[in-house]
Amino acid sequence: MADTFLHAEDYLGSAGSFCQQIPGFQVRENQLALCHAIVEAIEKQGVLTAEAGTGIGKTFAYLVPALLSEHKVIISTGTRHLQDQLFRTDLPRVLKALALNTKTALLKGRSNYLCLHRLKLAPHLGFINRETAALLTSIGQWSKQTTSGDIAELNQIPEDSYVWPMVTSTTDNCLGGDCDYWADCFIVKQRKKAQDADLLVINHHLLLADMTLKDEGFAELLPTAEAYIIDEAHQLYDVAARFFGTTVSSRQLTSLARDTIAEQVNDAPDMAELRDYAENLETAAKDFRLVLGEAGLREAWLRVQYKSSVDKGVHRLHGALEDLLKVLQLAADRSRGLDQCCERCAIVLQQLTRFLLPNSVDAQAANHQTSSNQTVSNQTSSNQAASSQAASTDTDVLWYETFSRSFMLHSTPVEVADLFQQHTGKFEKAWIFTSATLQVNQDFTHFTENIGIDSQAEKYHSGVWESPFDYQKQSLLYLPAGLPQPSASEYTRCFIDAALPVLAASQGRAFLLFTSYRAMHTAFEMLKTSVSYPLFVQGDLPKHQLLEKFRTTDNAVLLGTASFWEGVDVRGSALSCVIIDKLPFASPGDPVMQARIDVIKKKGGNAFMSFQVPQAVITLKQGVGRLIRDVKDRGVVMIGDPRISQKAYGRLFINSLPAMPVCTDIKQVSHFFQQAEVAHCEALTE
């Protein structure tokens, strides 16, 4: 690959085939420079952290060297939607421009593929009404036509429909090689393609799941690659924390109960006690949800574990699992399905033990160690594998979440750097980490330390490739003066008062991004009586539908929280203003955040400056990045939080944002939009 950069320049340069074959393609010097750096990293099996500004074309910059390298390459991105875009849109265009026939594959997590065994069981899972039966009929018809089994093909059924978990598998309920449908299994076929591919597109969840499986000695889910390219790498820390931890959820328990009943109907009709114990487990899970309190809680387990009602509830849940396990052990040899339910029951029983009061754990462990050892097999989930490691190091935090009808009990490692480094083989292959938001105050330390990259290593390199957008001309940062501190009770009201003249100047066409649902809904109630623009609020529709309505509605205003701060791409004048209520610090009550703060303090560090501020900076960069998505875009960012101007750390936020002109006078905002309108009219008459 010694001459790869010359080849890349031939393709991506002014005389290259990309200019000739891809409409609208523009030569970008920073794209070529980034491409060259990626070539070097792949050739030397090095580690590269690359911040690539919005609009640089980083996807082409890494696809060209990946395809020309003649190595096996895995590309991991943040979400399955980005996977689809990369694999179905970007990759075919690059392959055509390079005139290559490289063998490529797309692999998603198993929940994205139809499971034929689960489809057979679905009618016996209970609560099948007319609507569900109709959906299952549609899925059954599609199952006979599809070649991939990817549920995204059946787009008339929403991806978040309740029916999909009924007909897709999890690591818990997959029967593996003992399944009657193994020869026709869509996941098996897709994994075979993944093994054979020279370039494979996955997502971070799948990457981390595979790392965990490999570390425990199970069969490799992904092929061994010589280069890994991690796009949207800023998300990796949070994904790793989830995958190296464990979760016991009401959905997991309900699924176990209903699968047991379905398997009993098919393979043990004479064992009615299986149904009784399974129904008892489902009831115990529902009752336990009630004792945890109101919906929307996200708290440390320590806050509730000593409450009598919670202690009784978790023991009842534990007992229900224990009772079900005993009868499943008797039925396990009836079928692979019942045997697998038995294994799942043993695993979740072991995981739930961590949430018993300390003085009862030893007794419980003594009672159940033998039965657990008998039933836990090589089908053990990746989460359980990580659990034993986390439990032995005493560096994880127990916490819980409540939703309207469900709950989740989590055990999450406080730090993932060592765990991640162990799984990557200490980065012995080529690793390229790229995103538009990796630096904090022109420094990569926050990112590299979080995932265990040795920035002093000989083969480590980093760089920043700036966006081609002219932020000095295309944008304006407005910091309104006189707003109270964000902790003040009247803050949201004052913030909206300050935002109204901005919305008038932009004629709507705005995102309002909030750090809490409460503030978002309070703002919505105020705006309903203050503006005449169409208002859209997160939660009213699925995200993709909400965005489509925003794009196609004149002068619309969209209010959103966390999920709208990143991964949203609205180009053109439909989005001309991004208004942010507060600096996006994580909630101080977040149990994982608090545990991380405690660890840093114990080591003598400054948790606020070394962790809380950098995390907030990355999130703010993502939010601001929603505004300018094209060389023709123009717009204003308003940040209401006065701390960005008043606090010393505010300078870190400003320094980390694109170099936009800053103003505090609303007249300058109005003038900016007037100029933008004049420029737009002139462009139309040319």
Task: Give the Cα separation of 79 and 201 in Å (integer).
Answer: 11
Task: Give the Cα separation of 644 and 567 in Å (integer).
Answer: 24
- pLDDT tens for 281-317 read 999 999 999 999 999 899 999 999 999 999 999 999 9
Q: What is the DSSP letter of 570?
A: -
In this predicted structure, which of 429-433, 596-600, 637-641 has the lowest mean pLDDT?
596-600
Residue 361 has pLDDT above 70, yes or no: no
Q: Which pLDDT value is given to residue 380?
A: 37
Q: Which pLDDT value is given to residue 160?
A: 77
In this predicted structure, which of 239-253, 421-435, 643-657 has the lowest mean pLDDT?
421-435
Residue 127 has pLDDT above 70, yes or no: no
Q: Which pLDDT value is given to residue 155?
A: 81
DSSP for 245-301, please give it.
SEEEEHHHHHHHHHHHHHHHHHH-TT-HHHHHHHHHHHHHHHHHHHHT-STT-EEEG
Residue 7 has pLDDT above 70, yes or no: no
In this predicted structure, which of 165-174, 467-476, 547-556, 661-670 has the lowest mean pLDDT?
165-174
Task: Give the Cα separation of 41 and 348 in Å (integer).
Answer: 42
In this predicted structure, which of 237-241, 494-498, 507-511 has the lowest mean pLDDT?
237-241
Beta carbons within 8 Å of 293's beta carbon, 6+ residues apart = 304, 402
| Whether 396 contacts 14, CB under 8 Å | no
Return the H-helix or E-strand segment holding 667.
helix 666-685
Share of the chain above pLDDT 90, in %: 67
| Whether 38 contacts 65, CB under 8 Å | yes
Q: What class does CATH assign to 471-685?
A: alpha beta
**Strands 104-106, 199-203: pairing kind:** parallel
3-state secondary structure 374-442: HHCCCCCCHHHHHHHHHHHHCCEEEEEEECCCCEEEEEEECCCHHHHHHHCCCCCCEEEEEECCCCCCC
pLDDT bucket at 388, cuts 50 / 70 / 90: very low
Question: Domain locations in the chain?
Answer: 4-103+197-242+417-465, 110-187, 245-413, 471-685
pLDDT bucket at 482, cuts 50 / 70 / 90: very high
Q: Which pLDDT value is given to residue 659?
A: 93
Pairwise pLDDT comparison (395 vs 308), residue with the higher score: 308
Residue 207 has pLDDT above 50, yes or no: yes
**Interhelix angle for 517-528 vs 491-506, to 10°?**
60
Q: Which pLDDT value is given to residue 373?
A: 45
Residue 582 has pLDDT above 90, yes or no: yes
Residue 468, burial from CB neighbour count under 10 angstroms (0-12, 13-18, 19+): middle
pLDDT bucket at 79, cuts 50 / 70 / 90: confident
Residue 685 has pLDDT above 90, yes or no: no
Q: What is the DSSP letter of 332?
A: G
- pLDDT tens for 13-25 read 888 889 888 888 8
Q: Which pLDDT value is given to residue 406?
A: 95
Task: Give the Cα separation of 203 and 256 in Å (integer).
Answer: 27
DSSP for 113-174, please give it.
BB-HHHHHHGGGSS---HHHHHHHHHHHHHHTT-SS-BGGG-TTS-TT-TTHHHHB--TTT-
What is the homologous superfamily of the domain 4-103+197-242+417-465 according to CATH?
A: P-loop containing nucleotide triphosphate hydrolases (3.40.50.300)
Residue 217 has pLDDT above 50, yes or no: no
User: In the chain, what are the helix, strand and coil shares in percent, each to the nearest 5?
Assistant: 55, 15, 35
Share of the chain above pLDDT 70, in %: 91
Q: Which pLDDT value is given to residue 215?
A: 53
Q: What is the mean pLDDT of the chain?
A: 88
Residue 398 has pLDDT above 70, yes or no: yes
Task: Give the Cα separation of 281 and 321 in Å (integer).
Answer: 6
For residue 50 the two structure tokens come to: 């690359």
Q: Which pLDDT value is given to residue 3?
A: 53
Average of per-residue pLDDT across 643-660: 95
- 368-372, 387-391, 656-660: range with highest mean pLDDT: 656-660
Domains 245-413 and 471-685 agree in fold: no
Please say whether the structural domain 245-413 has been given the CATH code 1.10.3470: no
Q: Which pLDDT value is given to residue 394?
A: 54
Q: Which pLDDT value is given to residue 10?
A: 80
- 128-137, 336-345, 537-546: range with highest mean pLDDT: 336-345
| Whether 244 contacts 238, CB under 8 Å | no
Residue 332 has pLDDT above 80, yes or no: yes
**Residue closest to 33 by CA, chosen among 630, 657, 464, 631:** 464
Q: Which pLDDT value is given to residue 484?
A: 97
Residue 640 has pLDDT above 80, yes or no: yes
